[in-house]
Amino acid sequence: MSFDLSVIPHKNIVLAVTGGIAAYKSAILVRRLKDYGFDVRVVMTHGAQAFITPLTFQALSGNPVHTELLDPAAEAGMGHIELARWADLLLVAPASCDTLAKFANGLADDLLSTVFLATKSPVWVAPAMNQQMWAAKATQRNLQTLVEDGVHVIMPDAGEQACGDVGLGRMPEPEEIARQVAGYFHQAQRAIAEKFGLLAGKRVVITAGPTREAIDPVRYISNHSTGKMGFALAAACYAAGAQVTLIAGPVSLDTPNGVQRVNVASARQMLDVSMSSLETGCDIFIATAAVADYRVAEVAEHKIKKAGDELNVSLVKNPDIVATIADQEKRPFMVGFAAETQNVEEYAAGKLVAKKLDMIACNDVSRADIGFASDENAMTVFFAESYHMKKRELEKASKQEISQQLVEAISDALRRK
């Protein structure tokens, strides 16, 4: 499972590395944790330093490595108590048999065991040892004590070990451990968003991407929309605590984590799914999709063969999805988008009134730096007169940042409503 990194808050991870051949995996684990945006500080036991050097972890983490309990230089900076307070999570990987025993019995004779006792933050351990040591009654008794004390155990994998034995005791791959850590903070942040987020408890439906209107079995009419804006908005709404359904035209984008996705091709399919969403519940409808205005009157059953210099295709108007939804008796809060190439604000203001929208965001897609396929955008947002809100200018920024500003604008308007 992938995570939308914008949903994962900045957190501090103390990664403790103990003695064992699996210590080499911890170097990779630092990189994977930083990929998720975590700040990582490394604590190493004396045993760990026999397998890998502190300099390696300092280079990878970008922070000094902590190795000694009674180090005057360390105590003058980030001492063991401050390190324990700094951590949002203490992750021990690999966790040796000796370390588990110290933790379970409250020993505090080195830096790591002292940090363990001094921290109020969650503690995770990823045991790694010989399969017989893992199976030993004393080890299992210590693990049971730790679990009862609230320590989270990442279970070891089975397989061939460095000593030649085969069985349980291998430390899981760094990517898997980092994914579990990210998932933990993601779920914690999600719980907060569902209770206190700007769109907490709201049901949001978003249309995104282009539509394709078939000419024959191999040709179609479409546009240059990539769906990036709609997908970014789906992620932002989810991060704000909403339940999000994303109705996506044909685009090559990964579904944002936590978002329910429904794939469609044509404008009529998109309208059908949009109407169905009203029946299942929709508080906010956001129409970012670049829906084709016209479709072919009669789609050819077989591929049209090339013949002559001209091909005449009759087009008929497609339904206006956002206007249709806005015209329903039990209409949700309606947010439209206007992608124009000239007179942008004038056209957008007109659409706001004509389509009975609550809010419309417009941008100039003739600009190469913010048009279709760009990772950035800039918008002007208009609100219906009843909200007594001035238009908002959203300066050029990433589509993720623009999406967060749009969520704030929607939240403000909903409060006024």
Cα distance between residue 71 and residue 73, in whole Å: 6
Q: Give the 3-state secondary structure of 278-338.
A: HHHCCCEEEECCECCCEEECCCCCCCCCCCCCCCCCCEEECCCHHHHHHCCCCCCEEEEEE
270 within 8 A of 321, measured Cβ to Cβ? yes
How big is the CA angle at 276 (ends 228 and 197), to the nearest 5 degrees?
55
Numbered residues of the known binding site for CTP:
293, 303, 319-322, 337, 351, 355
Among candidate residues 163, 237, 282, 362, the one labeled active-site is 163
In whole angstroms, give the CA distance from residue 346 to residue 353. Answer: 11
For the chain, the residue count is 417
For residue 136, which phi and psi values (nearest 5 degrees)? -60, 140
Instruction: Give the β-pairing of 359-364 and 333-340.
Output: parallel
- Annotation: binding site: 293, 303, 319-322, 337, 351, 355
Reply yes or no on whether 163 is catalytic.
Answer: yes
d(CA 132, CA 135): 5
| Alpha carbons 112 and 125: distance in angstroms, whole number | 12
One-letter amino acid at 369 equals D
Tokens describing residue 151: 């320590």
> Token pair 């109705």 is at which residue?
247
Positions marked active-site: 163
